[in-house]
Amino acid sequence: MARILSILVGLFFTVALAWAFVNGAYIQITEPTGPTAEHEFHLHPKDVHFASDGPFGKFDNQQLQRGFQVYKEVCAACHSLEYVAFRDLAQLGYTDAEVKAIAAGFSVPGVDPNTGESTMVPGTPTDYFPKPFANDVAARAANNNAVPPDLSLIAKARHNGPAYVYSLLTGYRDQPAELVKEFPGSKTPPGLHYNPYFANLNLAMPPPLTTDGQVEYSDGTKATVDQMAKDVSAFLVWTAEPKLEKRKQTGWAVLGFLLFATILGYMSYRSIWADKKH
């Protein structure tokens, strides 16, 4: 019985190996070879720095408030913050009254107390940011058949997320003539927009930040396109990891404890074995 079982197991792995080999060879033969437009013209994110970067980095609440203002006035029309509640904004330095006013400026699903029917009501601090579209069908209809992603975790969901968001927002440009010349079939389709920082170079989202002063900052900061892109990117770092500062503080405390324990252990070792001969 054991011999039969071992034969069957060996046969299974042999078949699996053969299938993997044949499938890999088929893909290698059928897939196009050589350089692609995405490989040749896709750019890595720009080099940009934020206050929260590094082991000692901390959030700049003033910048986060500016970033939230950009999100609210520009991005919220298409993108949700599904995992962020209005009350969380208190961490950015907003007062309770300001949080209540911000929440009331959004409409969230609720129930009509008179009829019991579903309706939209002003938000409260305990509510989460609402989705801008009723469903994916409505989202696709309004965005050239693309569903705008939720931005709550975008800074963590993308490699080098903050720099990626900043680069994407500031990276829109005309499609290079050499791209079309080298890859004739890669011309940006109607309704899409060329951006070399996007994986396949063309995306449905039009440039959201188009002109300086598009947002009027309450703290008087000059709202250039570059500044707005940096601020909203910094804000999305916070939405993705609001406890970033606490994590770093805890990490340093743990490292300090481990260093102390290591030194204490070494001193104990030397004390116990000091009179012992090897």
| Annotated binding residue 78 | yes
Please answer whether residues 235 and 68 qualify as being in contact, where contact means their C-beta atoms are separated by less than 8 angstroms: yes
Bridge partners of 109, per DSSP, are: 120
- Radius of gyration, CA atoms only, the chain: 27
Q: Is 75 annotated as a binding residue?
A: yes
DSSP structure string for 30-52: HS--S--HHHHH--PPP----TT
Distance CA 236, CA 240 (A): 6
Question: Distance between CA 119 and CA 47 in Å, rounded?
Answer: 45
Distance of CA 94 to the CA centre of its chain: 24
Report CA torsion sign: 200, 201, 203, 207: positive
Q: Is 79 annotated as a binding residue?
A: yes
Q: Is 49 annotated as a binding residue?
A: no
Annotated binding-site positions: 75, 78-79, 205
Residues flagged as binding site for heme c: 75, 78-79, 205
